[in-house]
A and B are shown apart, each in its own frame.
Chain A
Amino acid sequence: MALEIVVMVKQVPDSQEVVIDPVTMNLNRSLTRNVTNKADENALEAALQLRDEVGGHVTVVSMGPPQAESTMIECLARGADRAILVSDRFFGGADTYPTGLTVASAISKLEKVDVIFAGEESSDSSTGHVGPGVAEFLGMEQATYVSSVKYADGFIIAERELEDGTEVIKMPTPVLLTILLNANVPRRQTLKRKIAATKQGYEVWNLEKLGMPPEWVGVRGSPTIVRKMRPIKEKERAAKRFEIDQIPDLVRELFEIGALKLEEMQ
């Protein structure tokens, strides 16, 4: 049986280059490069592997501004069959609630969905809300922190990496899975595939296409209010070298500067 697979992806500022504007406290995006969220690349790879094994189609869905074009082309070049960019100025300023709702609304427009893949979280906000949110909005079962996925006779068998071990679960489709960062090695994009992707192009879906009320999306649909942001000052650190036999001096010094305190032993 062929699986209809959806992958949720997001374009994020390259985390290695992110600069916070000290005046406005916002991300300075003017000079930062935008890249595909790393965990989403792992989600896409997991989806492509599943498709290649079982057969079917992979559709990439992303909500974002027009410049997410490069992410759409990249996903097609890595092997996705179809890419949809959900984009409209009404969607701007959304927190995780309307983002999940909007993406879920787009996915619900697809004819059939068996498995949805998402990255565990995005590197620019790190909430991990959106994937599970979409599952809830669509009334779908979900599994988070998944590292590997198999399919057999209407069931997904997934391994979840947990703090105290690995859990293997079996769930009937449809199901949403969030994939761990570095769960796999994403396949390369090649020039040939990228030319084909550029020629194929991607779809852009706006608010009208989704048919959602404007007050449900973007800033207006966002319950979160950020009251204040402050930068974290870097603590000044000192480096000093002590030999083993000087440890008493070290302890004394730490005590004198107030870094160590004496407490009554219980």
Chain B
Amino acid sequence: MSDFDFIVVGAGPAGSSAAIRLATAGSSVLLVERADPPGSKAVSGGILWGRDLDGLIPDWEKSAPVERYIDFKSTSFLTRDSKISIDFRSKKFEEKKTGYSVLRAKLDQFLALKAKAAGATLVTGITVDSLARKENRIVGVVQDGDTITSDAVILAEGANPRVAIESGLREPLRDRDCAIGIKQIVKLSEATVNERFNLTGNSGYAGEFALGYLEGGVRAGGFLYTNKDSLSIGVVIAMENLRANGSTYSYDIMEKFMEHPYVKPLVEGGRVQEYSAHLVPEGGIDSMPKLFGDGYLIAGDSASMTFSNGMIIQGMNYAIASGAMAADSLLEAAKKKDFSGAALSSYQDRLEHSQVLMDLRKFRGIDKVTWSRLVHEVAPGMMENILFSMFYEDGNPKKHLAEIILGSLSKANMKRSELIMETYRMLRRM
């Protein structure tokens, strides 16, 4: 007899979602989380996209600690002096809410407490050391020399899955599969947030930025999201860039983003409430480990289920969805009391038929585009040239758009053929 039916390692969105589903179905579940309370160590810019909580917590939009629903989506290219944006605002989002800004300190705690309310045993402030094995099957977890047993374990450790790696269940992370995300929460009044971003009521802004003015070929994306009375602002930097440039470098990039002439007025006067950094798995489907085996499943960031294109990061939604699917697979396996890898392979099938793996397969290799020179260096500068030539009246005869574009292309020092190739690659992958 095991101590628990199931043990879930990590109470992030993936782990708590799995525990909610398992406990609701009546299984005995142990949910172990290193942070106390859950979420106090989480770092996330914080837009929860999609509706994956629908199936777990009825009416979650009313009870969950969501800050604002997003009706204002913006993608911007920044050069040293300019900002070129594509803004999309729509009243349609009021009816059909597609994303909410969230603060992880609150959201993670909410989800973990839901799991507890459903009957899971929630233990916080404890780090699982390793997995317990019996004849190559995972039969529980080990902590401080004690073994706690279960029929199966869900590993939902997040982006730095130490237990999975040390148990040989996944490869160590390679630099090229990782980015580093840095985030600050900047406190402002609710009225100031509304005024600066032209928002009313509960609506919110989510902006992503290509930082086209960094020196030395560094590629970084910025994000800026509105919470009720604060902003989440941060940058995502390719790990390879960072290694080459030393560790204090990430801070400089954050500074450069926040000091940009068109970003600074948005955050000015705010008080920094939190400052944190975290890994972001960027490798996509190619860096994904085997997702199941005898007695275990891997969900969320631990399984590299993150979609990132250098500007936008989605991971919470995949974490929630994969956590719930891992739970469903365990519940199915429990009917036959068979927790072998073969029985748990239904997890892979579920994922393949869901948005999670469909997205990740479709956007395989997106990182090559999003971290490309085109997006992060050439495009912002070119667009600035083009728009500046179009709008600057110098009394000279006007030029055709085509002339302007070709002119700025040669200034950008990019061959026409190269541009066409890059653009083609980009379109194909997006």
Contact = CB atoms under 8 A, between A and B. Distances in A.
Interface of A: 19, 31, 33, 70, 74, 188-192, 194-195, 198-199
Contact of A195 (B36, B105, B123, B274): B123
A7 B128 CA distance: 29
Given A33-B37, A192-B143, 13 more contacts: A31-B105, A31-B273, A31-B274, A33-B40, A74-B125, A189-B126, A190-B126, A190-B146, A191-B126, A191-B128, A192-B144, A195-B121, A195-B123
A70 B126 contact: no
9 contacts: A19-B273, A70-B36, A190-B146, A191-B126, A191-B144, A192-B143, A192-B146, A195-B30, A198-B123
Contacts of A195: 3, 30, 121, 123, 148
A34 to B, nearest CB: 8
Interface string B88-113: 00000000000000000100000000
Contacts of A199: 121
Contact of B122 (A31, A189, A190, A198): A198
The A contact surface, by secondary structure, is: helix
A192 B148 contact: yes
A190 B125 CA distance: 9
B141 interface: yes
Interface of B: 3, 30, 32, 36-37, 40, 105, 121-126, 128, 141, 143-144, 146, 148, 273-274
A19 B185 CA distance: 14
Interface SS, B side: strand
Contacts of A190: 126, 143-144, 146
B36 A191 contact: no
A33 B274 CA distance: 12
A21 to B, nearest CB: 10
Contacts of A198: 121-123
A191 B105 contact: no
Contacts of A189: 125-126
Contacts of B30: 195
A11 B283 CA distance: 42
A258 to B, nearest CB: 33
B32 A70 contact: no
A133 B426 CA distance: 72
B274 to A, nearest CB: 7
B368 to A, nearest CB: 38
A189 B30 CA distance: 16
A191 B40 CA distance: 19
A195 B32 CA distance: 10
Nearest to A190: B144
Nearest to B116: A198
B37 A70 contact: yes
A217 to B, nearest CB: 28
Contacts of A74: 125
A31 B273 CA distance: 9
Contacts of B274: 31
B241 to A, nearest CB: 31
A240 to B, nearest CB: 25
B3 to A, nearest CB: 8
A171 B123 CA distance: 40
A186 to B, nearest CB: 13
Specify which of A31, A190, A199 lies most central, judged by the most chain B CB atoms within 10 Å of its CB.
Answer: A31
Contacts of B121: 195, 198-199
B126 A194 contact: yes
A265 B3 CA distance: 80
B1 to A, nearest CB: 15
Nearest to B105: A31
Q: Top 10 closest A-B pairs, CB basis?
A: A191-B143, A192-B146, A190-B144, A194-B123, A191-B126, A33-B40, A198-B121, A194-B126, A190-B146, A195-B123
A190 B273 CA distance: 32
Contacts of B37: 33, 70
Contacts of A194: 123, 125-126
Nearest to B129: A191
A198 to B, nearest CB: 6
A198 B122 CA distance: 8
A74 B37 CA distance: 12
B32 A191 contact: yes
Contacts of A33: 36-37, 40
Contacts of B105: 31
B104 to A, nearest CB: 11
Nearest to A188: B144
A80 B248 CA distance: 44
Given A31-B273, A33-B40, A70 B148 contact: no
